[in-house]
Amino acid sequence: MVHTDLTTRAPLPGAGTSDPSGLEVRDVVVRYGGDARRDPGTTAVAGVSFDVAPGDVLALLGPSGCGKSSLLRAVAGLEPVVAGSVRFAGSDLGGIPVHRRGFGLMFQEGQLFPHRDVAGNVAYGISGLPRGDRDERVRELLDVVGLAGYERRATTTLSGGERQRVALARSLAPRPRLLLLDEPLSALDRGLRERLALDLGGVLRATGTTAVFVTHDHDEAFTVADTVAVMDAGELLQVAHPEDLWRAPASRRVAEFLGYQAFVPLRELSTAHPSRLPSGAERSRDGSLAVGPRGLRVVVPGSADGVPGRVPGGGADAAHGGAVRAVWPGVVVGSVFRRGTTEVTLDVVLPGSAAPARVVAVADASDPATSGTRDWAAGDQLEVALDRSGCAVVPA
Ligand SMILES: Nc1ncnc2c1ncn2[C@@H]1O[C@H](COP(=O)(O)OP(=O)(O)OP(=O)(O)O)[C@@H](O)[C@H]1O
């Protein structure tokens, strides 16, 4: 459970009460360069507060350059904290050097020692243990990361994914009271990253490790973490459990970063069937409907899904299955078949905007009108229908 500080800043969505036995970050500022008189330098982290309770995994998620790594490095003690504080288990870590914080670190490139074999790498931080205990711990950790029996392998013979597993085992070996991971999977290809993200989440939970995990990939953050903190331009925008974050982004900026692709002012949608809109829509007439990556479905004009009596140009919203019956015409830009679904890119003029928005709509495989129709060409006319299960409401 992650909590945010309520005392010095406006309450952040997802805020709660503090647990002093874990990590407490309060109003932390990290700045590079500059001088006291003329040059203010670069403020990479602009007063961030969050907590991580023992055993929890927090993902710091945000675009490149938003300050994630700087914040992580400040927690580690690798960057000076210009203002604010970092505490762990109730103790202020100001002035405590990196190696005396009891934290583990893992980076994008595992940086294994090439002259040591796998066991030698994993055992690096526990050389003080008696031989038998050390061997047992190495065996146990290699088992946890799915590399049982790899002790004597040279690290130069490992794949990228195996190397990162060894690096993870090495960073867990001394039982760090906090593990800090900076984009540990981003050097790997997509398929491997997805598999390893699942494994990483499993390993951190199985070992009860308290961790802060930096990533720019929201799928990865959602897979690995109990709680996700969304960062932008040095500030935290929202801290929430993955499902809550996805269901209720606190702002359009958060929604955009999560991959919501278009925004329709709620006042532009008919009030005829408010119960068909995502929960909260009927209470937030000033907000927008955020359309997620699965928030639009392809409708073939004239198909069974086409609505007799539909208002031309969109806007009708008769209840129909899971969809809000808001249907708008679009011009196909292209389509791809991915993971069993056809994704069609179209230009659609959505309500509340004069210019066409480029959106992706999915063809429903269970819909006879659209399944199997994979050869839509640029310029074809289609329609898109909102699917409320793929939409969220965001404040204006
Ligand atoms: N050593 C440094 N000296 C000067 N500026 C720096 C330094 N390190 C980072 N910055 C700047 O601080 C800001 C935040 O950088 P940071 O690396 O923390 O972001 P990030 O979110 O981790 O980005 P990425 O995902 O690309 O690694 C950026 O504007 C960056 O240029």
- Write down the ipTM of this complex: 0.97
Using 50, 70 and 90 to split pLDDT, how confident is the model at 272?
very low
Strands 57-61 and 211-215 turn out to be parallel
Claim to verify: residue 286 and residue 377 sit in the same structural domain: yes
pLDDT(249) > 90: yes
Percent of the chain whose predicted confidence (pLDDT) is above 90: 54
Domain final position from 254, 270, 305:
254
For residue 354, what pLDDT band results from cuts at 50, 70 and 90?
A: confident
70 lines ligand 1 (CB under 6 A): yes
Produce one character per residue of 224-248: b if its CB has 16 or more CB atoms within 10 Å, e if not: bbbbbbbbbebbbbbbbbbebbbeb
Mean pLDDT of 353-371: 79
| Confidence category of residue 51, pLDDT binned at 50, 70, 90 | very high
Decide if 185 is inside a domain.
yes
CA distance 204 to 146: 13
Do 230 and 194 fall into the same domain?
A: yes
Question: Which protein residue's CA is at the shortest distance from atom 17 of ligand 1?
Answer: 69
Does residue 233 sit in the same domain as residue 275? no
Beta carbon of 31 within 6 Å of any ligand 1 atom: no
* Two tokens, residue 37: 């008189």
- Tell me the residue length of the chain: 396
pLDDT in tens, 290-340: 999 989 998 876 654 444 333 333 444 433 344 445 788 899 999 888 877
Structural domain for 367, as ranges: 262-394
- The mean pLDDT of 194-204, rounded to a whole number, is 88
Are 48 and 236 spatial neighbours (Cβ–Cβ below 8 Å)?
Answer: yes
The pTM is what?
0.83
Contact 71, 52 (CB under 8 A): no
> What order of strands is seen across the sheet that includes strand 288-291?
262-265, 288-291, 391-394
DSSP code of residue 304: T
With tokens 């459970």, the residue in question is: 1
Out of 13-17, 37-41, 200-204, 283-287, pick the least confident: 13-17
334 has which bridge partners? 345
Together in a domain, 37 and 95: yes
Q: What is the pLDDT of residues 63-121, one digit of tens each?
A: 999 999 999 999 999 999 999 999 999 999 998 999 999 999 988 776 899 999 999 99
Atom of ligand 1 nearest to the CA of 216: 25
Q: Does some domain include residue 42? A: yes
Substitution candidate for ligand 1 out of 29, 45, 68, 180 with most atoms within 8 A of CB: 68
